[in-house]
Chain A
Amino acid sequence: MTSGLWELVLKGVWVTVQLLVLSALLGAAVAFAAGIARTHRLWIVRFLAGVYTEVFRGTSALVMIFWVFFVLPLAFGWQLVPLWAGTLALGLTYGAYGAEIVRGALLAVDPAQQEGGIALGFTPAQRLRKILLPQAVPEMIPPFSNLLVELLKGTALVSVMGMGDLAFSGNLVRLALQESAEIYTYVLLIYFVIAFLLTRGMRALERKLKAGVGKEPVKEKAVVAADPAGAPVAGGVR
């Protein structure tokens, strides 16, 4: 491979990383908003958040990307820049999976903590901010770490729409070289390295957050278990 082609691959890596960071931020924001809304005391708020998660978890990420790229401009006249369209589709889809993680972690906090907050006269917002979230967030990190790797794999989907991410530049190099084994091996390795760095980073974050509430990080890697809530998500998200 020539240096020009490597430059193309590096540009692809940059687009992938941008897309990953932006959609992770949007996804996290949406996940917390919808996850917290699903534990709200008004049924209508819970219901709306539930509809959002079911719809976005129920459909395929690629179909969602097609929808944002093709239907949104035609039906509503919103023509988005590809990067933002990709961010929107991926952020909303993976945010719905994240919402289930947030909800699960909030419900897993010992009810006595909640009652203690009520007894001390904390407002609901204070209870959430000062009691529930500091204890729930460290527990969310391992499943979020899995979800982040899924999101990284999901970013490859935008290449179908012609966005110049890593998978797309891989295709361009294949066309240029008329040879596919080498470039696709490199592309797969690059994705693997990014995923590896992400899991390492999340593990460090977990250690830090758990030290803040006086807990040990879990030694064993999160194991996929039967989830009665039926979260149909790849990556062993619990």
Chain B
Amino acid sequence: MNWDWNAVSDFMPHFWDGLLVTLEALALGSLISFALGLVWALLMRVPTRWVRWPVGAVTEFVRNTPLLVQLFFLFYVLPEWGVTMSALTTGVVAIGVHYSTYTMQVYRAGIEAVPVGQWEAATALSLSVRRTWTAVILPQAVRRVVPALGNYVIAMLKDTPLLMVITVLEMLGQARLYSQQTFRFTEPLTVIGVAFILVSVLASLLLRTLERRLVR
């Protein structure tokens, strides 16, 4: 085992660049998945099955196929169809859409957990459908599911290295680039491995605090 601290300090500037891209992808991917997941969850409650069935089938398909292949699909197929996006945008969209099929189930569980009495009270007060959702159901449902959504943020963090395969230079991409230039693999890969553990442990601590605040 040969460990060279100089290689570590050489790698650190690249590491910070990579960390920034990773966090950027994570933040944008989370936003997309939270918003889109809510849309899916609401569409699954539309009365006609002509909406529910296609949405259910598509989300089931996306959830059960590898994110890696979905990334390739978006990266290589969309340009053929005339849609060009930067690699990072493609990656963010792929992660966001993939995880929206998970957050959708979280929202569904949250909505189902709102007591029936709340629905009945909304009907008794003759609130419109829109008001029932925005003022009564969603505020209670979303509050309940924040911790579960947070778990998916951590899961997303651990899927951001996949963006490397479509040329995004996030942490793993930077580590690979550095290794290819200097032929040192041990230090950069170990540094980012430890960084992932640290970031996810920090995130889960943060999450636990948030959980205590929100779910009482």
* Contact assessment for B108 and A223 in the assembled complex, using a CB-CB cutoff below 8 Å: yes
B11: chain A residues at CB < 8 Å are none
A166 (CB) vs chain B CBs: closest residue:
B69
Residue-wise interface mask of B (142-183) relative to A, using a CB-CB cutoff of 8 A (1 in contact, 0 not): 001101100110110111111011000000100110010000
What's the Cα separation between A74 and B104 when bound, in Å?
43
* Contact assessment for B193 and A234 in the assembled complex, using a CB-CB cutoff below 8 Å: no
In the complex, which range does the number of interface residues on chain A fall in?
35 or more
A interface secondary structure, majority: helix
What's the Cα separation between A127 and B27 when bound, in Å?
47
A-B contact count (CB 8 A): 160
A228 CB to nearest chain B CB (Å): 7
B158: chain A residues at CB < 8 Å are 59-61, 232
B interface secondary structure, majority: helix
* Contact assessment for A71 and B144 in the assembled complex, using a CB-CB cutoff below 8 Å: no
* Contact assessment for A180 and B189 in the assembled complex, using a CB-CB cutoff below 8 Å: no
Kindly state whether residue B6 has any CB partner on chain A within 8 Å. Answer: no
* Contact assessment for B197 and A226 in the assembled complex, using a CB-CB cutoff below 8 Å: no
B99: chain A residues at CB < 8 Å are 234
A233 CB to nearest chain B CB (Å): 6
30 interchain pairs, CB-CB under 8 A: A59-B197, A60-B157, A66-B189, A67-B189, A67-B190, A70-B179, A71-B185, A74-B185, A74-B186, A149-B64, A155-B66, A157-B162, A167-B68, A174-B76, A180-B77, A181-B73, A181-B77, A181-B80, A181-B81, A184-B69, A184-B76, A195-B64, A225-B148, A226-B147, A226-B215, A228-B211, A230-B147, A232-B151, A234-B155, A236-B102
Beyond A66-B189, A67-B189, A191-B65, 7 additional pairs, beta carbon < 8 A: A54-B197, A58-B201, A63-B193, A71-B190, A157-B66, A167-B68, A234-B102
